[in-house]
Amino acid sequence: MSDSYPSAASEDAPKPQSGPRVEDLPPVEPPSAGFIVQLFVVPAIIVLAVCGVYFLFARAASTEHDWRQLVADVKSENPHVRWRAALGLAQALEADGRRQANRTEPLEAGVVPLAENKEVAEALAEMYGDLIQLESASDEQANQIDFLSKALGLVDVDDVSLPILRDGLSEERSEEVQRHSMTGLVMIAGRRFEKGTPLENAELERQILGLSREPKPLVRHQTAFLLGLMPSDAALERIHELLDDGDQITQVNAAVALARNDSLDGLSVFQDVLSDAVDWKLDPAQVEGEEQQNAYFERGLMLDNSVRALTQLAPKLSDEQKASLVKALDAAIASTEDDTLTSSMKNLKYELQQEKS
């Protein structure tokens, strides 16, 4: 017996159904926002997330490769390759420093910020060490010394960066090398001070204290600034002595150093600067020649730093001190044609008046 199926021609076969009539179809409606999100946006987000993860891993691997290649290039015999690599390392240090400052999560295990990378620090220190030994540096080499001192100032590897910068402060080095080396040290000490963990290095402190007695005003006013970032008892004692230095910039830097450490002992120096600003009549339109430009820069810097320090000290001042400063500020504002300086002085005046009330 075999199975039997109705043939296509059989009368018992089911008749084909006709399609639905138009009037029986549901009305056509535009797609909802939710449907569009499900159809397009959600898949796009998933794709972007996957790409983002891939990009982060690729970037991490690329960064690792980049700094290692740059360190290798720094040792190249080709001077152009060397300096492109040095510039690249400095840029990488700055970029990584910004990333670390904005970081909200702890670093993964084994990951070290570029500023703490010893290979990077050693590569920069080696180049700097070669340059500062030159008896006579060309203009290009002087620019390279300036650049490398600042690059080393971005590094937080004390056993590498501090010795080479201290070498740059030694007596046999030129005043230019000493100045740039001090700049690098100020950058390192300033960063530590802002973090609430001042740089502590007994050998460096002794060296800076010795340099603070140098006859060169430039060296003294830099050391006054640096000692304020390394506020040991000995450093603060020397800063107080520098308030009476014969060089006005050194006096101001000493007063700023004390203000940074919440001391009012340099207040009279700031008052003198405001008084002097009346006679300075700072007006950028009247500056002619290099000598006038240098004088204008130094005076403007002293006035600006004094205003910044007084702004920090404002909550500690008595009503009498505030009233005296407001009077001095009015006179200095009336005599100054520099918009930036007058704006900062007006802001200080307002704050002193607010504090008083």
Instruction: Please identify which residue in the block is written with the tokens 């000995």.
Output: 234
pTM metric for this prediction: 0.75
According to DSSP, residue 22 is labeled G
Tokens describing residue 134: 């030159």
Q: Residue 96: how many CB atoms within 10 A of its CB? A: 19
Q: What is the mean pLDDT of each run of 10 residues along the chain (357 residues)?
A: 44 49 54 51 52 40 60 78 82 84 76 87 92 87 90 94 96 91 95 93 95 92 94 95 96 97 96 97 94 95 97 95 96 96 96 77
Instruction: Please identify which residue in the block is written with the tokens 């008052």.
Output: 271
Tokens describing residue 124: 């920069």
Is the torsion defined by CA of 9, 13, 19, 24 positive or negative? Answer: positive
Q: Please give the single-letter amino acid code of residue 334.
A: A
3-state secondary structure at position 108: coil
Over the stretch 158-205, which tens digit does the pLDDT of each residue have? 999 999 999 999 989 998 999 999 999 999 999 999 999 999 999 999
Q: Residue 353: how many CB atoms within 10 A of its CB? A: 12
> Which pLDDT score is estimated for 29?
54
CA triplet 175, 180, 185: central angle to 5 degrees?
120
